[in-house]
Chain A
Amino acid sequence: MDDAEAFELIDAHLDRETLTDEQSDALTAWITADPQRADQAFYRIFLHSYLRMRLQSGILPGTSDLATLKDFNLDDPIGTEAALIVDRQLTPIGKSSFWRSNGLILFIVCSLMIGVAGWAGWFIFNNEYNSSVNKIYAYEGFDYPATILPASDAKEPKWPTSGGLQGLAGGVGWSEPWQETNSKVAIIVDYSQKEMHWNANDMRKFGPLGYTDTHGNVLQSSGNQLRTATSPRSISTRRFDAKAFPDSMKDEMGLGRDGSVIWFSFLAQSSLSTADNNRYSYLVIGSKSIAGLRVGKLGAAPSGNWTAVGLLTGAEVNLRTSTFPSGEVVLLVARIIFRPGPEDAVVWINPKLDAEPLTTDAALHLPVPDFRFGEISVHANHSTDFDEIRFGGTFRAVTPIR
């Protein structure tokens, strides 16, 4: 057996093909004959392992896939040679000497013959592929009818203690309706209804939640939005439908298996600083009593601005706070890489929507104690608006643009 055949069999094994006993014996003999060959075999296996780990997020480094498409005939192994690495330093493989010597000429001929068909095939494939990778796992746009507030003699409407978000079951990727578990409830608001008597500094009077980046890309958003309660508080919780998430994200403890990546995003606006009076309004995944992540306005943040913090057995750990001031609408986009040990959480605030932002451009970057999640909660003790909550596997999945 030569090296090329050995690599072919290793690839076949790692691609879940069954090797015959003769192939297994031949491969074992090749590997055990020489430590150098065993090392080569292990490098090959490592390549599979690294690609699996690296591509879990669905993203490869470099330019956009669309920008580098070529006209290939997928049924033609000749054409594959040109689809590989730009520097074209190909390693010989078994049964390919003919193609190695003649591949370039044949590729040019074949490309001319089938170029149009290749383009068409790839266009279809690429669209199908992108729709699959950019699939959203869970979405809540709060597009419900506005909550009717209880009648009140006072100037300000009375805040409801029941109803609100309780039992609403729209969106996708959820296994249960929203549950309200505190003394007041979060409500659905329609910006065009002017019941609220806004404070002079409350920016929410200028329009509904929405986001346009500095390049003019507009985040998809529509309909009504969520508003949390004040005095004393609301806690709104909803469980994810685990079936909507890929198997690679799950283990027996929940969502967030080591090696997986989750992206989530939401729009928010809170007009008050949380630096005073222990105000808070945040979104949490995971568990306060075990471990999790809070993102939003937190009472512990000294500046009162948008913040993220890890949770561990009831305590807040690794608090990171941003310079984005209270009052403005913000788009928060978070990525969590679940790893053995602490998770790696990154939060971008108002990122450009053209492409996945760099980690170095993140507003908040923190380790979060090892955790799993199965639900999302919105906690607040002052009025804050939230909208367009998205969970997905990629940046693009959670930041669709119009």
Chain B
Amino acid sequence: MENSPDSVPETKPRSVRELSREDSRELLAVSWVKAQPSLTAFLIASTPQFSDAEDLLQEVAAEVARRFDDYDLSRPFLPWALWVAKIKIANFYRARERSPVKFIGDSIDALGAACDRVQATLSEEKWALEKCLTNLTGRSRQLLLLRYFEDLTPQEISTKLGMTAGAVRIALLRTRSALISCVRSTLASAPSSHG
């Protein structure tokens, strides 16, 4: 049906405050789910341990929820959430009276920009990564489980297995590189086949 000359043109709300409470909550939930993998990766790179990143992620989630009324709907969500994350990272190091890791401190803006650029492709990356994980052999699987499930460092893994720390580092390095290589070839050979 065409608009009558007297009809009021539809205007998009610019601020979350203009949305109903239900719409606001739904928008927050959808935006958070999309941004969370990128934010998690960003926090993991910025903190000493996985558990620190996981703690910070919860703080970021709470802060994003608290400030969500201030979010400008005309701008993308992830950079805004990254801004919140950077504040939380700064607070994290301030509370511990420590300086951020030098590499992260100097690269944080470049990595934040990269996080924003690659976000749209992460769902495809995850799909391909799942396929590649099924191809891992027993040894690589075990090393990854020791590193990521038991949260052991290469040094701790080496002690547990009675091997050199260098051998563990190289094995983990190659496993990760091989996974990334597999993801690239999987995505290249099956464009959009996964929907």
| A contact set with B: CB distance below 8 Å | 7-9, 11-17, 19, 21, 23-25, 27-28, 31-32, 35, 38-39, 41-58, 60-62, 65-70, 72, 74-77, 80-93, 96, 121-122, 125-126, 128-129, 132-133, 247-248, 251, 257-259, 340-341
Given A14-B44, A31-B107, A49-B44, A91-B177 contact (CB < 8 Å): yes
Looking at the assembled complex, report how far the CB atom of A21 sits from the nearest CB atom of chain B, in whole angstroms: 6
Looking at the assembled complex, report how far the CB atom of B126 sits from the nearest CB atom of chain A, in whole angstroms: 6
On chain B, the residues within 8 Å of A61 by CB distance are 130, 133-134
- Verify A75–B181 contact, CB threshold 8 A: no
Given A35-B113, A46-B118, A93-B173, A125-B142 contact (CB < 8 Å): yes
Given A11-B172, A50-B126, A251-B139 contact (CB < 8 Å): no
Minimum CB distance partner of B130 in chain A:
A61
On chain A, the residues within 8 Å of B151 by CB distance are 248
- Verify A89–B141 contact, CB threshold 8 A: no
A-B contact count (CB 8 A): 256
- Verify B32–A42 contact, CB threshold 8 A: no
- Verify A42–B41 contact, CB threshold 8 A: yes
On chain B, the residues within 8 Å of A77 by CB distance are 166-167, 170-171
Task: Select which of A51, A70, A258, A341 is within 8 A of B138 by beta carbon.
Answer: A70
How many angstroms from the CA of A50 to the CA of B124 in the assembled complex?
13
Minimum CB distance partner of A53 in chain B:
B40
Minimum CB distance partner of A258 in chain B:
B58
Minimum CB distance partner of B36 in chain A:
A340
Minimum CB distance partner of B55 in chain A:
A251
Interface size range of chain B in the complex? 35 or more
On chain A, the residues within 8 Å of B132 by CB distance are 85
- Verify B51–A129 contact, CB threshold 8 A: no
How many angstroms from the CA of A248 to the CA of B50 in the assembled complex?
9
- Verify B103–A65 contact, CB threshold 8 A: no
- Verify B114–A41 contact, CB threshold 8 A: yes
- Verify B32–A341 contact, CB threshold 8 A: yes
On chain B, the residues within 8 Å of A93 by CB distance are 173-174, 177
On chain A, the residues within 8 Å of B51 by CB distance are 247-248
- Verify B135–A14 contact, CB threshold 8 A: no
On chain B, the residues within 8 Å of A32 by CB distance are 106-107, 110
How many angstroms from the CA of A59 to the CA of B93 in the assembled complex?
33
On chain B, the residues within 8 Å of A17 by CB distance are 153-154
On chain A, the residues within 8 Å of B58 by CB distance are 251, 257-258, 340
Given A44-B180, A55-B144, A49-B153 contact (CB < 8 Å): no
On chain A, the residues within 8 Å of B15 by CB distance are none
- Verify A45–B45 contact, CB threshold 8 A: yes
Given A16-B49, A93-B177, A126-B126 contact (CB < 8 Å): no
Main secondary structure of the interface of B (DSSP, over half): helix
Task: Select which of A7, A14, A45, A83 is within 8 A of B171 by beta carbon.
Answer: A83
Q: Which of B128-179 contact A (CB under 8 A)?
A: 129-130, 132-142, 144-151, 153-154, 160-164, 166-167, 169-179
Interface CB pairs A-B, < 8 A, 18: A11-B173, A24-B101, A42-B111, A48-B45, A50-B41, A58-B145, A60-B141, A62-B141, A65-B138, A68-B137, A69-B137, A74-B163, A85-B182, A86-B136, A88-B178, A90-B181, A247-B51, A258-B58
Q: Which 9 A-B pairs have the closest CB atoms?
A: A83-B139, A49-B41, A91-B177, A62-B134, A42-B114, A38-B114, A24-B103, A24-B102, A55-B148
Q: Is B27 in contact with chain A by the CB < 8 A criterion?
A: no
On chain A, the residues within 8 Å of B90 by CB distance are none
Task: Select which of B44, B142, B163, B182 is within 8 A of A45 by beta carbon.
Answer: B44
Task: Select which of A27, A31, A55 is within 8 A of B149 by beta carbon.
Answer: A55
On chain B, the residues within 8 Å of A85 by CB distance are 132, 135-137, 140, 175, 178-179, 181-182
Given A24-B106, A38-B113, A46-B125, A91-B180 contact (CB < 8 Å): yes
On chain A, the residues within 8 Å of B55 by CB distance are 251
On chain A, the residues within 8 Å of B167 by CB distance are 74-77, 80
Q: Is B13 in contact with chain A by the CB < 8 A criterion?
A: no
Task: Select which of A7, A52, A62 is within 8 A of B136 by beta carbon.
Answer: A62
Task: Select which of A16, A21, A128, A340 is within 8 A of B102 by beta carbon.
Answer: A21
Given A8-B173, A80-B171, A257-B149 contact (CB < 8 Å): no
Given A60-B145, A65-B138, A89-B178, A15-B172 contact (CB < 8 Å): yes
Looking at the assembled complex, report how far the CB atom of A129 sits from the nearest CB atom of chain B, in whole angstroms: 6
- Verify A84–B178 contact, CB threshold 8 A: yes
How many angstroms from the CA of A92 to the CA of B173 in the assembled complex?
10
- Verify B139–A16 contact, CB threshold 8 A: no
Q: Which of B46-60 contact A (CB under 8 A)?
A: 48-51, 53-55, 57-58
Known contacts A17-B154, A58-B145, A69-B139; 19 additional CB pairs below 8 A are A7-B177, A12-B169, A14-B44, A24-B106, A27-B107, A32-B107, A47-B179, A51-B148, A60-B141, A68-B137, A70-B137, A70-B138, A80-B174, A82-B137, A85-B175, A87-B182, A125-B142, A257-B58, A258-B61
